[in-house]
Amino acid sequence: MCLCKLQPKLVDISNSHTEFKSKLDQLEVGDWAFLMRCQECCQLWKVDEWDKYQQSYAVKIPDKENWKKFDSTALIKEKIMENRGGLTSVPCQWSGCSFKQVKGSAYCVNHLWSTGARA
User: How confident is the model over 93-104, as pLDDT tens digits?
Assistant: 999 999 999 999
CA 69/CA 93 separation, integer angstroms? 31
Instruction: State the pLDDT at residue 10.
Output: 98
Range 52-56 average pLDDT:
89
Does the pLDDT at position 51 exceed 90?
A: no
What is the pTM assigned to this prediction? 0.89
Cβ neighbourhood burial of 19 (10 Å; 0-12, 13-18, 19+): exposed
Does the pLDDT at position 106 exceed 90?
A: yes
101 contact partners, CB below 8 Å, separation of at least 6 = 87, 88, 90, 91, 92, 93, 107, 108
Residue type for 87, please? L
